[in-house]
Amino acid sequence: MDNARKALKADPFTDGTRAGLLESMRNAGIDYSVALPLANTADNVRGVNRWAQINNESPIFVLGSIHPRTANPVEMISRIAAMGLKGIKMHPEFQDFSFEDESLFPIWEACMENDLFVLTHAGGDVSFSAPYRSDPRSLKDFHKKFKKLKLVLAHLGSWGMWDEVEKFLVGLPVYLDLAFTLGKMPDEQLVRIIRGHGAERVLFGTDSPWCDQKEAVEYFHTLPLTDKEKSLILGLNAAELLQI
């Protein structure tokens, strides 16, 4: 947590523990959360996924992770699926890769074969400097190559690049999540992207502990969306993706 705090130059809203997250969920009226551990080196992939398996218990669902330089990544993807985890978390900046890298294509193919979705950081990141390793145009090109991959693009498609998101990603059959976007971009553009993309492909998220869950829920409810749109985004879409 201390290293993460220094990297982000921000104070967290929870202590980073399961108990802390559960308390935050109770205060916010959140029924379920999805935890996203990240394998930041190839050496800790097994440990991260073992931890994910142990802690993958309702009401907190935990994803697995793979590192681009993992030995036998296809085999590890199969193990992640066998552990009962529903997807994997990736981060182009922290893991130093781009989606154009053809050597990683077997990872995405293995995810499709094992019915795992891929949730990836997208766009800018406050811990890194431009140019970034993912952007709306490159993610659109990636989707063209792997149209059957269940893809979740964090931060509404690409953090801080929302004009490009509207140009290249809105309307594609990929999921966009709201992590670290509420109050970080104009509400008018946020609602326009949701409506243009389709509320059925948008997922509520907070990026906890870097955002307060209760504040995020309250903010979301101020947006001029219909009750149906809010229901889809707040839970129905995630329930379908997580198969719960």
Buried b (16+ CB within 10 A) or exposed e, 182-221: bebbeeeebeebbeebebebbbbbbbbbbbbbbebbebbe
Question: Is a pLDDT exceeding 90 seen at residue 103?
Answer: yes
pLDDT band at 20 (very low <50, low <70, confident <90, very high): very high
pLDDT at 162 over 70: yes
Residue type at 241 in one-letter notation: L
Q: What is the pLDDT of residue 5?
A: 43
Is the previous residue joined to 224 through a cis bond, with omega within 30 degrees of 0? no
Closest-CA residue to 33 (of 62, 9, 6) = 62
Region 36-51: mean pLDDT is: 97
For residue 239, give the nearest of 18, 32, 28 by alpha carbon. Answer: 32
Instruction: Say whether pLDDT at 2 is over 70.
Output: no
pLDDT in tens, 180-216: 999 999 999 999 999 999 999 999 999 999 999 999 9
In terms of residues, how long is the chain?
244
Q: How far apart are the first and last CA of the chain?
A: 30
| Partners of residue 88 on adjacent β-strands | 64, 118
- Categorize the per-residue pLDDT at 97 as very low, low, confident or very high, splitting at 50, 70 and 90: very high
pLDDT of residue 11: 85
The residue-averaged pLDDT of 88-93 equals 98
Asked if residue 93 lies in contact with residue 121, where contact means CB atoms within 8 angstroms, the answer is: yes
Q: Are strands 64-65 and 117-120 parallel, antiparallel or unpaired?
A: unpaired
Q: What is the percent of the chain where pLDDT is above 90?
A: 95
The predicted model scores a pTM of: 0.94
Among the four given CATH numbers 3.40.50.720, 3.40.50.1580, 1.10.10.10, 3.20.20.140, the one describing domain 2-242:
3.20.20.140
CA 20 to the chain's CA centroid: 20
What mean pLDDT, rounded, does the chain reach?
Answer: 95
pLDDT tens digits along 122-157: 999 999 999 999 999 999 999 999 999 999 999 999
pLDDT on residue 198: 98
